[in-house]
A and B are shown apart, each in its own frame.
Chain A
Amino acid sequence: MGKKKLYAHHIDSSWCKGCGICVAFCPKQVLELDKNQKAIAARPEDCICCRQCELRCPDLAIEVICSKTEVSNE
């Protein structure tokens, strides 16, 4: 099965206010808050590129960079 390939999560920690919304609603539990209450991608390999975290962040602090199309997993 093909899926979109994740290249990176760009998280701007100077904009993140640690509300935890991205962490709570990620369907794959990819994200966590670190000890400074800033979002980090703890398990990027599980990300399915749904971009819900990017869209739900009230602080525009996350950008999910993915392939435009589905690519097959080697």
Chain B
Amino acid sequence: MAVKDYIRERFFPHMWCAGCGHGIILNALLHSVDDLGLNKKDMVMVSGIGCSARISGYVDFHSMHTLHGRALAFATGIKMSKPDLNVIVPMGDGDALAIGGNHFIHAARRNIEMTAIVMNNRIYGMTGGQFSPLSGYGAMGTTAPYGNIDHDFDVVDLAVAAGATFVARTTTYHVHELSDLIQQAITHKGFSVLEVLSQCPTHFGRRNKAGDAVDMLKMYKKRTVRIGSDKKKADPDLIERGVFVKKDFPEYCREYDQLILKARKKK
């Protein structure tokens, strides 16, 4: 199939700003689903609220555009009732880790098989540039006009600590790696978290004097390294990319099936 067979063409051109990283994530996701040869009838995309969350309207999968921060809860219901479906949950940084932080850690702890993609632009794009739990110290936002004094979560560390069994990070500059990691995350039999650094030139870029989309992508190239690179020892502020955790662990829906069998035998 061609990539365009996986989208709802009638909604294009999409609503994202020129150069928005969220479009690159959509692009990579479509190429990944195509490369894996997945049938769109087996795919469900569940999203919350945000510029990022609008992604579910563009894919021609089963889709649900739900409540801010609660996409993982809706997705859990879908997966429990139809475990054969392939569930993908793209979330903004605010959606996943501010209002949705609790859902995020508990979905990870349960190890329910689905793919959580954190589209991290370090800001609330949709509502006009407020800081998020991923903005980081010193970042500028409409709600931090003199610089943010909150420190950020490290999404990878948080996901690992909460029990996610596949955890990876990349950026919208590294498109081949992005596509490879999305494919690994989708095929992993457990809760997968993929953090993708994604540029918001309109709010983060402008307020933080980070330039346009091209400049922000160049920064991802310059300021990130593969896990284990020696460069990180010399420059600890570099951000690592790659797969941090990939492990086998009992999956929630399968455990639940076992539990049902056990309960039936007891009768």
Q: Which A positions have Cβ atoms within 8 angstroms of B?
A: 14-15, 17-21, 24-25, 52, 54-60, 63
Contact partners of B218 in chain A: CB under 8 A: 24
A60 x B12 contact (CB < 8 A)? yes
B26-34, B36-44, B239-247 - interface stretch: B26-34
Majority secondary structure, B binding face = helix
Q: Give the distance in Å from the alpha carbon of A63 to the alpha carbon of B31 in the complex.
A: 12
Question: How far is B23's CA from A57's CA once the two chains are assembled, in angstroms?
Answer: 7
* B-to-A contact residues, CB < 8 Å: 3-4, 7, 12-14, 16-24, 26-28, 30-31, 172-173, 175-176, 179, 212-214, 217-218
Query: Are A60 and B22 neighbours in the complex by a CB distance under 8 Å?
Result: no
CB pair A15 B213 closer than 8 Å: no
Which residue of B has the minimal Cβ distance to A19? B19
- Given the interface pairs A52-B175, A60-B12, the reply to whether A17 lies near B19 with Cβ below 8 Å is yes
Q: Is the interface of A mostly helix, strand, loop or mixed?
A: loop
- CB-based A-B contact count at 8 angstroms: 71
Q: Which residue of B lies closest to A60 (CB)?
A: B27
Could you tell me if A60 and B175 are in contact, using CB atoms closer than 8 angstroms? no
Contact partners of A25 in chain B: CB under 8 A: 214, 217
| Contact with B214, one of A17, A24, A52 (Cβ below 8 angstroms) | A24
Q: Which of A14, A19, A25, A57 has the most CB of B within 10 A?
A: A19
B213 engages A21 (CB within 8 Å): yes
Closest CB of chain A to B7's CB: distance in Å? 7
Contacts of A18 in B (CB 8 A): 18
In the complex, how many angstroms separate the beta carbon of B34 from the nearest chain A beta carbon?
12
Chain B residues with CB under 8 Å of A55's CB are 24, 27-28, 31, 175-176, 179
